[in-house]
Amino acid sequence: MSDSQKFQLGTIGALSLSVVSSVSIVICNKALISTLGFTFATTLTSWHLLVTFCSLHVALLMKLFEHKPFDARAVMGFGILNGISIGLLNLSLGFNSVGFYQMTKLAIIPCTVLLETLFFRKKFSKSIQFSLTILLLGVGIATVTDLQLNALGSFLSLLAVLTTCVAQIMTNTIQKKFKVSSTQLLYQSCPYQALTLFVAGPFLDWCLTDLNVFAFKYTPQVLFFIVLSCLISVSVNFSTFLVIGKTSAVTYQVLGHLKTCLVLGFGYVLLHDPFSWRNILGILVAIVGMVLYSYYCSLESQQKCNEVSSAQLSQAKESESDPLLSVENGVAILGDGVGPKAPPWSLNKDLHA
């Protein structure tokens, strides 16, 4: 199996793990929050991150991965920014209508595309832009209902979108810049994310729910779902870093909207949530957008592979003809019959999704 095939197989595995774990934790948390009344989402997220760090530390002791320290300031800034973005998203939901919150989540993709175009000179073809537009339109039809605006909520949403975009772009760039794996980055940034939310979580939850997380009555059923949620979160956090590292922040957001559609479907089938023609139409349109995005990405990836192959073939032919053509002062300059080493393939990871 070639390196390209191994990479594609690893990407498919990461995407599948992300979808399964994310849909599972949404269903688990919905039962915990809606049915059992545990509405402290930010504090729960801090526990998720703490359990994730402990799990990775055990894996490190078992030598399942290698610890690779790098720029401590970059790790700290990245971890705190991730924690802040999670808190701002929860605040955005608390101070806005559900419809406006869904619009906030939809804005993450165009904002990410804009930031990567401006600061990283990354180019998105018209085909990719078209497929993303179809996807966002479908998710918007399926999820956006009421749009109630207010100044504070809009400001919080703007901050949430910006911090989320920057954090997800950093997830990809840090892994490439410092040559660290998703596991190594998650292990080092988790404590800062967990500490940020552990300190701010109870206060934010009190602002949003007017309830004290420490005064909540923890029944065995509540504790069971909290533990289950924390265990699933290990897979969610790991797969998030893995997907962004292997693809890009944009592809991760596309995957996130696929999860939204699946959650709507599972909610209707398993939890008997209300389902309207708008939900069905929106999901179908979103699926068309996702299929187009995957198709165009694969097509552009194949074109780049063909261009690299053509360049390598051309260089090989030139190197073979050089010894016969290179004659200086009547003396042939003989080579060893072996052309210059072909440059390593440079595949755009975003196009393998």
pLDDT digits (tens, 9 = 90+) for 122-174: 888 899 999 999 989 988 888 776 667 678 888 999 999 999 999 999 998 99
User: Which pair of tokens denotes residue 191?
Assistant: 């404590």
Q: Is residue 330 part of a domain?
A: no
Model confidence at 336: pLDDT above 80: no
Q: How many CB atoms lie within 10 A of CB 179?
A: 10
Q: Is residue 340 part of a domain?
A: no
Q: Is residue 80 part of a domain?
A: yes
Whole-angstrom distance, CA of residue 32 vs CA of residue 10: 32
Under the banding of pLDDT at 50, 70 and 90, the label for residue 352 is very low
Number of domains the chain is built from: 1
CB-based contacts of 187: which residues, under 8 Å, 6+ apart?
53, 56, 57, 60, 65, 67
Under the banding of pLDDT at 50, 70 and 90, the label for residue 273 is low
Q: Is residue 353 part of a domain?
A: no
Domain coverage including residue 20: 9-309
Q: Is residue 343 part of a domain?
A: no
Averaged pLDDT score across all residues of the chain: 82
For 34-61, how does the pLDDT look when each residue is reduced to its tens digit (9 = 90+)? Answer: 889 999 999 999 999 999 999 999 999 9
Under the banding of pLDDT at 50, 70 and 90, the label for residue 23 is confident
Model confidence at 264: pLDDT above 80: no
Q: Is residue 325 part of a domain?
A: no
Whole-angstrom distance, CA of residue 24 vs CA of residue 236: 9
Q: Is residue 84 part of a domain?
A: yes
Position 147 scores a pLDDT of: 63
Q: What CA dihedral angle connects 334, 337, 340 and 341, to 10 degrees?
A: -160
Position 1 scores a pLDDT of: 63
Of 5, 4, 42, 7, the residue nearest 247 (C-alpha): 7
Q: Is residue 315 part of a domain?
A: no
DSSP state of 107: T
Which whole-number Å values give the CA distances from 296 to 113, 248, 300, 309, in the listed order? Answer: 16, 15, 6, 20
